[in-house]
Structure 1
Amino acid sequence: MKEVQRRTFFVLIITLLLLISAGCSSGESKKNSTESNQEEKDKGTIHIGLQNWAETIAIANMWKIVLEDKGYDVKLTSVTKGALYSGLADGSIDVNLEVWLPHTDKPYVDRYKDEIVKHDRWYKNTRLGLAVPEYVEIDSIAELNANKEMFNGKIIGIEPGASLMKLSENVVNEYNLDYDLIESSGPSMTAQLKKKYDEKEPIVVTLWNPHWAFAVWDLKYLDDPKNVYGEADNVYWFSRKGFEGEFPEVTKYLNQWDMSHEQLSSLMNVIRQTDNQPKKGAAKWIENHQKLVKKWVTVEE
């Protein structure tokens, strides 16, 4: 009987020790897991500057989601083009995702070339110009003066200070257009375009590729025989000095980033179809393009 009691006592002791050991191991595991998660969330804060252009808003929100999933804190700051470049130069902004070169953004890049850093191209063959609905029966900027009444003497533009607006001012002068170039914004311009298009009325707007409007409406650029808008650009991303050293992983991601016209247009379209909620729309697009996104963020050691 005593032998049985002794064996039972030892079994209880061993069981208790195993439970204590398991508890310590579990606690340590939870601690390590918590520390790992905390480390994952402490990769740093990245400030992305953006203009109020449809594609800029789309790609900025897309990268915000992708980078936050990788453990970074991402802040989006909407500014004018001039403030975007000066912020990049003084370090208050880390990244500008959309720089058109060698033509459109050249004046800004030249001004701040010693304080900002050029990185890889992610989109090729952009276009800028004056666009009208396909049903409008003119095909060239040179025809605008003869059809002034058709358009009420107005060209609907976007934000003042945008490179597209500066080039459009040059177009008005070079072609001696008797038109008012109306300053507004990207969303305001597309709202006016939609209204006129729905009513099948003429309208001429400043527009660019990439833009979701071409996927929604049947539009055409007016020929530019004097080539004031220039040749096609490519789109690059720029950073402040020192960014690559502080965020080497993010730099690799962005350098591997590449989008076709169809991919970028689809991203903008999904956002538009999601009640113009950039974060929600970008998340939906990412979910449907996992293979592409994985390609961008896979870094070989």
Structure 2
Amino acid sequence: MKLLKQLLLTAAFGAAVASAVPAFADGKPTIKIGYVEGWDDSVATSNVAAQVIETKLGYPVKLVPVAAGGMWGGVARGDLDATLSAWLPATHAAYWEQYKSKVVDLGANFNDAKIGLVVPADAKATSIADLESQKDAFGGRIVGIDAGAGVMKKADDAIKAYNLSLQLMPSSGSAMTAELARDMHANKPIVVTGWAPHWMFAKWKLKFLDDPKKVFGGAEHVDNVINPELEKKAPQVVAFLKKFQWKPGENESIMLAVQGGAKPDDAAKTWVSAHGDRVAAWTADAK
């Protein structure tokens, strides 16, 4: 009787554990998605996609934090199956030229994306060209993010194109927004490297500086880029990624939730469970 009771308890514990994790179909491979940890939109989009792929399509997902160059190279080599953070045509133009023969672009998950220099909405400066005459007000510097980011390369180009003597200060996405928060609270002028979509535009009144020389390019899109082998490895995932596209404001709500303290996977779970119609549309061809 004691042995039977122990066996029953073990079986019950195993059933409880099984019910606590997603039920993946036997033999389905793990999908590895590369994202940039300091990019809030990359974190939000990748976590939502992971939730959909796991809970609706039955594939386990591993999210892999990498730098932008490692993200593109990883997908090209097959170390990663996909990235949902490809900024084109300008921001990641160099990566696209380097790897375009080894990856497949499935299309945009976000349209009307933009990069540039961002200031408080009430700042006197309206154009990048205005920064030189107002450099003292801005502390003689532009607060940036990680040095290898596309927006940082373009910011360096802008400094040369507009003959600016402001210093570009590399940091990280979180450090940049922390400094932005302090200066906005103190009502101090600040200029940062920025991009949309980003939760900071929902939290504060900000504006992009005009870029008449088009150093930062025009409107961009954020694309889903995969390794060609993913079509054979997980055709359902590819079918989903072809239809996975945000409507305006959707991913900003997830970014704001994370910025407010929610864990990225929890924020993604909440959004997915509350938007069954959107998820059903995305996965309609993946069943």
Common topology (TM > 0.5): yes
Q: Measure the CA separation in 2 of the matches of 1:291 and 1:206.
A: 35
Give unpaired runs (5+ residues) of structure 2. Answer: 1-14
Question: What secondary structure sits across from 1:145 in the alignment?
Answer: coil
Candidates 201, 204, 214, aligned match of 2:191: 204
Correspondence for 1:244: 231
Post-superposition Cα deviations, 1:262-287, rounded to whole Å, max 9, x if no partner, equal 112122122223x1411111111222
Q: What amino acid does structure 1 have at the position aligned with 2:70?
A: A
Post-superposition Cα deviations, 1:187-206, rounded to whole Å, max 9, x if no partner, equal 11111101110111111000
Q: Please say if residues 41 and 71 of structure 1, whose CA atoms lie closer than 8 Å, have aligned partners that are also in contact.
A: no
Post-superposition Cα deviations, 1:232-255, rounded to whole Å, max 9, x if no partner, equal 112211111211111100001111
Q: What amino acid does structure 2 have at the position aligned with 1:295?
A: A
Q: Measure the CA separation in 1 of the matches of 2:161 and 2:76.
A: 33
Correspondence for 1:16: none
TM superposition shift of 1:147: 1.0
Correspondence for 2:47: 61
Q: Could you say if the C-alpha distance between residues 44 and 237 of structure 1 is closer, same or farther in structure 2, counting changes exceeding 3 Å?
A: same
Candidates 90, 93, 102, aligned match of 2:89: 102
Q: Please say if residues 236 and 286 of structure 2, whose CA atoms lie closer than 8 Å, have aligned partners that are also in contact.
A: no
Q: Please say if residues 24 and 60 of structure 2, whose CA atoms lie closer than 8 Å, have aligned partners that are also in contact.
A: no
TM superposition shift of 1:261: 2.4
TM-score (normalizing by structure 1): 0.84
Q: Does 1:123 align with 2:110?
A: yes
Q: Could you say if the C-alpha distance between residues 173 and 282 of structure 1 is closer, same or farther in structure 2, counting changes exceeding 3 Å?
A: same
Q: Measure the CA separation in 1 of the matches of 2:211 and 2:286.
A: 46
Higher CA-based Rg: 1
Q: Measure the CA separation in 1 of the matches of 2:271 and 2:134.
A: 42
Correspondence for 1:40: 25
Q: Could you say if the C-alpha distance between residues 148 and 245 of structure 1 is closer, same or farther in structure 2, counting changes exceeding 3 Å?
A: same
Q: Measure the CA separation in 2 of the matches of 1:143 and 1:167.
A: 17
Could you say what the CA RMSD is over the residues aligned between the two structures, in angstroms?
A: 1.8
TM superposition shift of 1:135: 2.2
Moved over 3 A (4+): none
Give unpaired runs (5+ residues) of structure 1. Answer: 1-29
Correspondence for 1:187: 174
Correspondence list, 1:276-295, <5 A: 276-295=262-281
Q: State the percentage of identical aligned residues.
A: 35
Correspondence for 2:149: 162
TM-score (normalizing by structure 2): 0.88
Equivalenced residue count is 266
Q: What amino acid does structure 2 have at the position aligned with 1:289?
A: H
